[in-house]
Amino acid sequence: MRPPVASVFWRALCAALLALCLAQPALAAEAKKGAAPKRGILLVAFGTSLPEAVGAIDSLKAQAEAAFPGVPVRMAYSSRIIRDKIAGEGIVRRAPAQALADMAAEGFTEVAVQSLHAIPGKEFHDIIATARALEGMPKGIKKITVGLPLLSTPEDIKAAAEAILQSQPKRAKGEGLVLMGHGTEHPANAAYAALQLELWKKDPAVFIATVEDNPGLDDVILALKRQGLRGVVLAPLMSVAGDHARNDMAGGEDDSWASRLKAKGFAVRADLTGLGSRPAVAKLWIEHLKRAVQALDE
Buried b (16+ CB within 10 A) or exposed e, 130-156: bbebbbebebbbbbbbbbbbbbbeeeb
Is 182 among the catalytic positions? yes
Residue 276, Cβ density class (10 Å: 0-12 exposed, 13-18 middle, ≥19 buried): buried
Q: What are phi and psi of 111, to 5 degrees?
A: -135, 130
Tell me how crowded residue 98 is: count the other CB atoms within 10 A of its CB: 19
Q: Catalytic pick from 117, 125, 182, 288? A: 182
Among residues 236, 239, 132, which one has the least CA distance to residue 181?
Answer: 236
Active site residues: 182
